A and B are shown apart, each in its own frame.
Chain A
Amino acid sequence: MPSQNGVKNLLSNVKKPSTPVRKRTSHSPGRILAKLIQVLPNRHGAEVFAVLRRAFWLAFGVRVHIIRGVAVPPGSCDSDAIRHAISTATPAGRSTPHFPQSTALYLPLMAESAVVGVLAIAADPAKLGTMNPESPVFKAFRAQTVLSVLRFGLDEEAQRVRALQTADRLQKALLSSISHNVRTPIASILGSLGTLRDDGCGIDEHTRRDLIDNAFTETERLNRLFGNLLDLNRLEAGALRVRSDVCDVQDVIGAAIEQLGTATLGRLLRVDAAPDLPFVRMDFVLIAQTLVNLLDNAFKYSGEHDSVVVEAVVQNNALKISVLDEGSGIPEHELANIFEKFNRAGRSGETGGLGLGLSISRGLVEAHHGTIWAERRNPRGAAVRFTIPLGGV
């Protein structure tokens, strides 16, 4: 008689996809049941059903298929028998009065008088004749199958709920972030304009100028913020279309710098592009926008006297663009996280943004089948780099 561990190992082997189906040796169904009950709780997802199938084979010499739910799987050859088993909660198929020409015997899986699935037993009529589906051991196996079906359903439900909860959490974070980041500039704008309107006469020219400039800057910031929100929305809805065209990389970089406008004033910005850069197929607008996001970040997180450099080279059959700054840098453990939505961790300072720029950049780069990543720089600062395959999109 094989050892208890041996039986357990037999059941464990189902994890490996290329395990050949072994010839059945005689194991006591009772012992297999005991091991099944031991092993099942540690299995999840589709593995559970693989273990069950193996257990049925070892214990009874029958091949089973487990149908979850009360819908006849499309393309089933014995749909009549299956439907009968589901709707009447009685066995159908081979060796039964109902649709005996079927290729298998179909036993309804019951949980508290409700059908939760069907156990299909494919075996020749002789074998089926010797097997007793109502024997205590077989019923116990069926019970385990029912439990597994229920557990699988619960797991799926739990995953759905978790996904919804995550989405909900993000939604709340977004709303809270928007609320703060929109209300703050609006307050500033209202304040400036309100003062100009109400106390207009008593204000000197210099202050008036300041108030107007402030309102202008804050409005530009709000505009960028809405732009980011819309982009994120389009990215997530999969509504982003990459309009691929032959582009001059220098041109794209230049356009990005142009778009930054006053943000570049008084800052040390240098472009380091190889003179023999080939033209690259990409979406001009989207990549320019990616650069705007990266440059905006570089400016936000570095000081006025720190230099920011844009590098462009061809490496490994891809265009590689890098934005380098000499700012506070990104902590090692945050390097991957910064591309997540709302993440501004590790980079301190009042920025007034939503923390969406990098997440959007990642979406835009990946839409080009490229990759984006961040590195620390010596002695200080960060490098954010992305690649665009030269093969074209």
Chain B
Amino acid sequence: MDDEQGIRRFLRAALQNQAYQTSEASSGVEAIEAVMAIRPDLMILDLGLPDIDGVDVIRSLREWTHIPIIVLSVRSEEAEKISALDAGADDYLVKPFGSGELVARIRAALRRVNKPETCAVFTSGDLEVDLAQRAVSLAGVRVPLTPTEYDLLKTLIRHSGKIITHRQVIREVWGGASYEDEMHLLRVNISNLRRKLEHDPSRPRHIVTEPGVGYRLRSD
């Protein structure tokens, strides 16, 4: 839902092109009503809404539904994105974005709903992680990881394709005792993981940094 006609038109075209059915709302109130009435599989929500705080809409929805929510925001509003994600949004897109990115994020968000944790092996490019065997290999070659590195990778896999905020990762891997100390550990472990799993750690293909927000494990 978006209050901008132009954006709604473009989204409709892009999504219908991918054979998604769409329905539109142009205000927070309309949106919540629509979700209740139509029960869509996913919601795209623009954070710059006129009548209600987008984050409030997310919170209201999250009280009774797990529907995947992707938020649209403008550049440089990291705090806003993080609030939305912490309130329960699954992912975000920064305007302007291409339809390719949008579709990729939608797929990732829907995938999570349809296949929760049943996947025993995660593959992306030449990275293969056998969750049952706790085995990680790159182009067929086994890569040894420390327990923390593995937990971190597992967390990223759990959210594969979607953004996970620093705070979320820290909470899931370290239990979130102290943000400060854990932030340091997070950076170190991400750095180590990249060194082990990326062909060029300075240009990561798998573990992507979302500046100021968190990380995303790309899934092909």
Contact = CB atoms under 8 A, between A and B. Distances in A.
Contacts of A223: 96
Interface in A1-20: none
B191 interface: yes
A255 B211 contact: yes
Given A255-B209, A284-B212, A285-B212, A248 B191 contact: yes
Contacts of A246: 180, 183-184, 187
Nearest to B98: A216
What interface size band does chain B fall in? Answer: 20 to 34
A284 B96 contact: no
22 contacts: A219-B96, A243-B78, A243-B79, A246-B180, A246-B183, A247-B187, A248-B187, A250-B191, A250-B201, A254-B201, A255-B211, A257-B202, A257-B203, A258-B203, A258-B208, A279-B187, A279-B188, A283-B212, A284-B209, A285-B76, A285-B78, A285-B212
B50 interface: no
B183 A251 contact: no
A247 B187 CA distance: 7
A227 interface: yes
Interface of A: 219, 223, 227, 230-231, 243, 245-248, 250-251, 253-255, 257-258, 271, 273, 279, 283-285, 288
A285 B96 CA distance: 18
Interface string B75-106: 11011000000000000000010000000000
A273 B195 CA distance: 14
A258 B200 CA distance: 13
Contacts of A227: 75
Given A245-B183, A285-B211, A230 B76 contact: yes
B211 A284 contact: yes
B96 A248 contact: no
A223 to B, nearest CB: 6
Q: Is the interface of B mostly helix, strand, loop or mixed?
A: mixed
Contacts of B203: 254, 257-258
A58 B113 CA distance: 91
A203 to B, nearest CB: 21
A271 B202 contact: yes
A250 B96 CA distance: 27
B40 interface: no
Nearest to A264: B203
B125 interface: no
A279 B202 contact: no
Contacts of A255: 209, 211
A3 to B, nearest CB: 68
A353 B211 CA distance: 24
Contacts of A271: 202
Residue of B187, B188, B190 with most partner-chain A CB within 10 A:
B187
Contacts of B175: none
B144 interface: no
Contact of A254 (B96, B188, B209): B209
Interface in B29-81: 75-76, 78-79
A223 B79 CA distance: 21
A285 B212 CA distance: 6
Given A245-B183, A248-B191, A279-B184, A254 B211 contact: no
Interface string B186-214: 01101100000000011110001101100
